Amino acid sequence: MSHSWGYEATNGPSKWGASFPIANGDRQSPIDIVPGNASHDPGLKPLKLKYDPSTCLEILNNGHSFQVTFADDTDSSTLTDGPISGTYRLKQFHFHWGATDDRGSEHTVQGAKFPAELHLVHWNTKYASFGEAVNKPDGLAVVGVFLKIGNENAHLQKLIDKFSVITNAKTQTTFVDFNPATLLPGCLDYWTYLGSLTTPPLYESVTWIVLKHQITVSSAQMAKFRTLLFSSNGEAPCCMENNYRPPQPLKGRVVRASFK
C-alpha cells in the first residue's frame, strides 16, 4: 500500500481522486447522516456482536491512524444480523480524530461533527480472507461509533497507555485480552447505508453501520491521541490529527434506521 496519500493539504482527501478515481464514485464514505431523511426499516434486525478478547493480537501505528488487530482465522469475534446476511469477522478497529475537540469524526449528524470516530472493521466470511473481501461490494461491514467529550473512558485508557511505544509510524507492540465490546454504547440503535473505505484505496465494499449513541472520552484523553505521529522515527515529527475524510455526496442513496 503506497504511503503517498495522507491528510495534509498536499496529499489529503481533496487530492485522492488523482490516484484513486473511485473517490468520485457513487457510493463513497463518509456521509452526513440526516436523521429526518433516514427511513425506519422494521425489517432491520438488532446487531449481534460477539467478541472474544483472546483474539486481540497487537496495537500499531500504520501512519494513518492507530489500530488494534485481531486474529481472524476462526469465527471467535464476529458481527451477524443487523443489516447484513451471513457472518463477518472482526479484523481490526481504529479511530479518526481532529486537531481540536470540535471536529474529527468522518460521519456527521445533520452537520454536527464529533471529536473522534471509532471504526470496527469486519469482513464477509463468504470470501477466503480480508484481502479477498476488501474490494467486493458486500465484502466489509464497518461499525462506526462516535466519541463525545465527557468523563474519562477507562477502556480507551488501556489503548492510550500503549501510545508511548507506538508514537512513530510503522511501529507496533503486543496487545492482548482486550474486549472491543467495552467500546460500545449500551444501546446499539444504528443507521445503515452502502458506502466505501474512507481511506485509499476507497473501495466501494462497505456496509456502514453507524451507531446513534456515543461513547465518552475526556478532553485530556483526546490530547493524548494527538501525541501519536504520522511520521516515522528520524523524520520531522508530524502530529497525527485531522485524519478524517469529510462527508461525500449521497448520490441518491437511502439511509435506513433500525429505530423509530
Ligand X SMILES: NS(=O)(=O)c1ccc(C(=O)N2CCc3cc(O)c(O)cc3[C@@H]2c2ccccc2)cc1
List interacting residues with Zn ion (CB under 5 A).
119
**Rounded Cα–Cα distance for residues 154 and 121 (Å):** 22
With binding defined as CB under 6 A, does residue 199 bind ligand X? yes
Cβ 235 to Zn ion shortest distance, Å? 23
Residue from 28, 55, 192, 198 touching ligand X (CB under 6 A): that is 198
Cβ 43 to ligand X shortest distance, Å? 25
**Rounded Cα–Cα distance for residues 186 and 196 (Å):** 26
Tell me the pairing of strands 88-97 and 108-109: unpaired
Residue from 44, 56, 84, 121 touching ligand X (CB under 6 A): that is 121
**Rounded Cα–Cα distance for residues 54 and 117 (Å):** 24
Give me the catalytic one of 64, 107, 119, 122: 64
With binding defined as CB under 6 A, does residue 44 bind ligand X? no
Interactions with ligand X, residue window 53-92 (CB under 6 A): 62, 64
Beta-carbon contacts of 167 under 8 Å, excluding residues fewer than 6 positions away, are 61, 227, 228, 229
> Which residue, 62 or 214, is less far from ligand X as judged by CB?
62
- Classify residue 246 as exposed, middle or buried by CB count within 10 Å of its CB (0-12, 13-18, 19+): middle
With binding defined as CB under 6 A, does residue 1 bind ligand X? yes
Q: Backbone phi, then psi, for 171, in 5-degree steps?
A: -115, 155
Q: Which of Zn ion, ligand X, none binds 239 (CB below 5-8 Å, type-dependent)? A: none
* Residues facing residue 92 across a β-bridge: 69, 121
Cβ 161 to ligand X shortest distance, Å? 24
Residues binding ligand X: number (CB under 6 A): 13
**Rounded Cα–Cα distance for residues 124 and 180 (Å):** 19
> Which residue, 185 or 201, is less far from ligand X as judged by CB?
201
String of contacts with ligand X for each residue 234-253, x by CB under 6 A: --------------------
The candidate with the shortest Cα–Cα distance to 184, out of 162, 160, 158, 156, is 156
Joined together, the cell numbers standing for residue 240 give 497525527
Cβ 91 to ligand X shortest distance, Å? 7
With binding defined as CB under 6 A, does residue 119 bind ligand X? yes
With binding defined as CB under 6 A, does residue 18 bind ligand X? no
Run of H or E residues at 59: strand 56-61
- 214 neighbors 113 (Cβ within 8 angstroms): no
Active site residue 3: no
Chain centre distance of CA 197: 9
> Which residue, 122 or 212, is less far from ligand X as judged by CB?
122
> Which residue, 89 or 119, is less far from Zn ion as judged by CB?
119
Residues labelled as active-site residues: 64
Binding residues (CB under 6 A) for ligand X: these are 1, 62, 64, 119, 121, 131, 134, 142, 197-199, 201, 206
